[in-house]
Each structure stands twice: as C-alpha cells, then as structure tokens.
Amino acid sequence: MTDTLSFDAKQVMPGHADLYYGGGWHAPVSGTYDDTMNPAIGQPLGAVATAGKADVDAAVAAAWQGFLEWRDVAPLERARILKEIAALLRKHGDELAMIDAANCGNPYTEMRGDAAIAAAQMEFFAGLVTEMKGDTIPMGPDRVNMTLRQPLGVVARILAFNHPFMFCGGKMAAPLAAGNAVIIKPPVQAPLSALRLAELVDGLMPKGTFSVLPGGTEAGAALAEHPDVAKVTLIGSVPAGRAVMRSASATVKPVLLELGGKNALIAYPDSNPEKIADAIVAGMNFGWCGQSCGSTSRAFLHEDIHDEVLSYLSDKIARYKPGIPTDPETTMGAIVSRDQFNRVMEYIDSAKSEGARAVTGGYAVTDGPLADGCFIAPTIFADVTPGMRIAREEIFGPVLAVRKWGDEDEMLREVNSLELGLTCAIWTRDLVTAHRTAARVEAGFVWVNEVGRHFLGAPFGGVKQSGIGREEGIGELISFTHEKNVHINLSGQ
C-alpha cells in the first residue's frame, strides 16, 4: 500500500490486497485490481483485487466446505472462538480505526468507537449461542413433536461505506454464532479494514468459514443469485436493495435489507429549545458527514419554539469542523468519494435555488491541507417547503432540512409521506403525546427524548422501503437459522 498518511502506513495497512477465501489469499481470475482512495487528500492508498463471478463461485464452494465443518462445532466452542475474535478486535481497534479513517474519511476518534462496537456485537452474539432453541409441541401419548433451529449454510453480507469495519466485524457475528459460513463483500470505496480483519482472524475458524471478497456490482449480484448462498444481506441504498432482491429472487432465498432513511426529528412546543438544538446536531451524525441511514435529516420544529431553536444552532454546530480524518483532533471528516461529494453539493445548490435559507454551512471547505479533499461544512437549511428535494430525498451528506409546523395532523402526514421509514426522534415532556406520536409515525426505530443511539439487544430496522428484517438483537441471530419440525411416533416400531 502507498504511504500517503502522516504515520507509517506499513504498520497498519493490510499486507494483502487479494481475495480471501478457503483460508488463503487468491488473485482475482480476471486479474483486475482497482485503486482505493484516501478521500481526504485525493490520493490512492493502493490497488485492491476486484472479485468477479468466477471468484464468487470459487469462494462459495470453499465456504460450503467450511460450513460443513463449522456447523458441527459445539455451540459453546463457537462462542469461545467468537470471543477470541472479539478480543482481537479490541486489541487492534486503534489500527483498524486508522485504516478506516484513511480509507472512508470518517474521523479516527469516531472509528475507534466503531471498532469497540464491532467487538461488543461479537461478544453479544457469542453469548446467545445457546438461545437458538426449538419448542416441544404436545401431540398426545406415544408421540413427540419438536422443532430444531439449524444454520442456513453460506451467508453473504454486502456492506456500506459509512462504517466499514463496524459493519464487517459486527455483521459477521450473528451468522457465525448460528453456525453459518460468512462471505463479506466490503464496500467498494473502503475495503481495507475488512482485508486487515481477514489477516487477524486467519486460522481461528475452519478454512472457508469466513471470506472477504472486495468487488463491485458484479460480485454483489453473483453472491445474491448464487444457488449455494442461502441468504444475502445488504446495508445500502434503496436502489441497491431492490437490485439484491431481484437477484435473490432467482433462487427464492431470504434477504435482510437495511436501506435508506429520510428520518424525522419532531419537536413539540413543550420541549426545551436548547436541548432540541443539541439533538438536531447530534442526530445528524455530523462527525461522519451525515453519511448515516439513521440520521434525523428532517427537523420538524413547532412554531412556538422554531426561532429560538435556530438561534442556538450556529454555536452548537461549531465543534464540527472538517479536518484530516487521521488526525485525532479532527471532529468532522471527509465525504467518502468525489462522486458522493458532487452529489451532496448538487443537493445544496438545489436547496438554494428552490428558496431554502442556509442557517449554517452550505459550502465546500478547501482551506490549506483540505484543498484536494472532499470536505463540506455542516449545513442546516431553514424555510424548507415539502416539495423541495432536500425535504424528500435521502442526501447521505451533512445537510439537514428544518420545517416549521403548527398543526399536528398535517405535520404527521408530511412525516409519513415518504417511501422511507427507518428512524424517528420525538421530543416532548408529555407522556401521552410521546406514546401517541410513537404509535403514529411510520418508522421501525423510534427514540423519545433521545436521538442517534443504538442499544445491543434492541431490534434495529426499517419499514416501507427502508428495509426488511431486524438486526442487533436475538431476532438477527434467529434469522440466520431455519426451523425444522421433527415428529416421532414412539409406537411406530
């Protein structure tokens, strides 16, 4: 890998850039390698293998052999191995965070938290291996009827670029705990931390149990439609989710999709305006440039507190200043790629042309060392109307739209008017209002007087076109098993 960082990259970057499957490293059949970038400085970090259909076929065959061995490992032994992996994630958390900071543009300090979350998820699911329980069903004398939970086989997980290592290290946990083999397709924009993870866990599980296949849409489609892949999951955009569903339909395999969000933060008039300003800033995840499907990017402020909330925002947002992501002092990183940067700037330009008022930000940052990077100031627009693009479309950037409301029914109709329904944050001091609104909003995950946080054990996922299925709880583990019924006639012989 090219040393383009302010530290010795050779000490933290993966030593391999090929495909990892069958317990070893393999060059792609096509011989294709593509540069992966550091979006903060606009320079390549090195060339990484790009998997194609032939590589997917080879990796799935190896994963199937790994599954046949891994499924028979006793549950508590699987748990012990997963806890050993979790310990490795904690031990190497700083270097994994630095790899992601360089490769995806999120700040090093935020990525350290991601590494810790991945380790916690591994430990959490390791602790649930004995909870994949069946039932006994009464059938009368001389008969026993019971259900078993068994692993699916080979599972493919296609990941997004905003939390590369957290998704890789955390999302492998549930299917592995259930006894499946896992193939990770890391994000095209940021594959390096997944390759480093493969180096760290090499040899801890049977060969083929864990694979990493960097690649683009060809690899993703090949995994989704492969007859020997039992389930495919995606964290990504709605169009990507639709494409995975189409490919998976060829073999009628189940999917788990965590897709986009255009999430609402609703502030009632009894809310504390300064706390609402804090929540608006926290809920947008400005640290990683708003590149989060769960970001509350639409703020609905009651007319009684609207102006006062806005008056706090400039000061509240001041701590988020774009900087070089690998610098531990940086509080806000870079957009992941030049294409994504251009997309976000197009939304900002459209908001201005449609009449929205920039309360803060609304421009690219190109000062000094940031001149060649993909940096955008944290941006909040007021005077937004329902027809504006920034009010209706997921931007996946540091841009928030503020709406003033007075009529609750009208406000809730607008909140629920979109095809997306991932998260929602409700702010009120009234318990009845909180319960009523939580019941009426069309979202899969609702906070009341809280925003942005995930809780291990609490199911996370969306409704409508924000996804299918739930993660981060026991339901995720169970979703990587199938239920088998066994009926025994004790008097049949």
What number of other Cβ atoms are within 10 A of residue 251's Cβ?
Answer: 14
For residue 124, is it within any domain? yes
What's 364's domain CATH number? 3.40.309.10
Helix (H) / strand (E) element for 256: namely: strand 255-258
Residue with tokens 């009120």: 428
Is the domain of 246 the same as that of 332?
no
Cα separations in angstroms, 430 against 75, 212, 434, 449, 452: 46, 49, 6, 11, 21
Model pLDDT, residue 6: 47
Would 326 be classed as within a structural domain? yes
Same domain, 213 and 299: no
Sheet containing strand 154-158, strands side by side: 24-26, 19-21, 210-212, 181-185, 154-158, 231-235, 255-258, 467-468
Question: Are the C-beta atoms of residues 97 and 108 closer than 8 Å to each other?
Answer: yes
The secondary structure of 280-326 as a DSSP string is HHHHTTGGGTT--TT---EEEEETTTHHHHHHHHHHHHTT--B--TT
Beta strands in 349-492 (DSSP E): 357-360, 379-382, 399-405, 420-421, 423-427, 445-448, 463-464, 467-468, 481-489
Taking a C-beta distance cutoff of 8 angstroms, is the pair 98, 115 a contact? no
For residue 331, the enclosing domain spans 264-448
Say what the pLDDT of residue 492 is. 79
Buried b (16+ CB within 10 A) or exposed e, 118-135: bbbbbbbbbebbeebeee
* 301 plus 224 within the same structural domain: no
Distance CA 469, CA 481 (A): 14
User: Looking at the structure, do residues 34 and 121 belong to the same domain, yes or no?
Assistant: yes
In a domain, 490, yes or no: no
The domain that contains 472 carries what CATH number? 3.40.605.10
pLDDT given for residue 10 in this prediction? 52
DSSP code, position 448? E
- Return mean pLDDT, the chain: 96
The answer to whether the CB of 275 falls within 8 A of the CB of 301 is no
Q: Which of 110, 123, 225, 258 is catalytic?
A: 258
Structure tokens at 301: 């402020």
Residue numbers of the chain with a pLDDT score lower than 70: 1-10
Domain-located, residue 197: yes
Examine residue 4 and state whether it is found in any structural domain, yes or no: no
With beta carbons less than 8 A apart as the criterion, state whether 147 and 484 touch: yes
Identify the residue whose tokens are 């040393």.
3
Compute the distance between CA of residue 11 and CA of residue 17 in angstroms, rounded to an integer: 15
- Report H helices in 127-172: 164-171
Phi, psi (degrees; rounded to nearest 5) at 12 = -120, -25
CB-CB contact of 337 with 301 (8 Å): no
Q: Tell me, what's the pLDDT at 11?
A: 75
Q: Give 252-294 pLDDT, tens digit per residue.
A: 999 999 999 999 999 999 999 999 999 999 999 999 999 999 9
| Size of the chain in residues | 493
Contact 379, 400 (CB under 8 A): yes
Judge whether 258 counts as a catalytic residue.
yes
CA diameter of the chain: 84
Look at strands 181-185 and 19-21 and give their pairing: unpaired
Q: Are residues 89 and 177 in the same domain?
A: yes
313 & 334 share domain: yes
Q: Are residues 148 and 224 in the same domain?
A: yes
Are residue 205 and residue 283 in the same domain, yes or no?
A: no
Q: How far apart are CA 60 and CA 330, in angstroms?
A: 41
On whether both 286 and 269 belong to a single domain, the answer is yes
What are the E-state strand segments in 102-191? 136-137, 143-151, 154-158, 181-185
Residue 132's alpha-carbon distances to 78, 146, 175, 482, in angstroms, are 13, 13, 12, 10
Whether residue 330 contacts residue 107, with contact meaning beta carbons closer than 8 Å, is answered with: yes
How many whole angstroms separate alpha carbon 108 and alpha carbon 326? 5
User: CA separation (Å) from 456 to 184, 241, 473?
Assistant: 22, 24, 6
Do 396 and 334 sit in the same domain of this protein?
yes
In a domain, 457, yes or no: no
Contact 108, 98 (CB under 8 A): yes
For the chain, report the end-to-end CA distance as a whole number of angstroms.
Answer: 67
Same domain, residue pair 270 and 412 = yes
Please indicate, yes or no, whether residues 253 and 351 belong to a single structural domain of this protein: no
DSSP string, 394-422: ---SSEEEEEEE--HHHHHHHHT-SSEES
Confirm whether 406 is domain-assigned. Answer: yes
Residue 1 inside a domain? The answer is no
* Structure tokens belonging to residue 387: 């027809």
Q: How many domains does the chain have?
A: 2
**b or e along 57-74 (b: 16 or more beta carbons within 10 Å of the residue's beta carbon)?**
ebbbbbbbbbbeebbebe
| C-alpha dist (Å) from residue 366 to 188, 202, 314, 371 | 25, 41, 20, 4
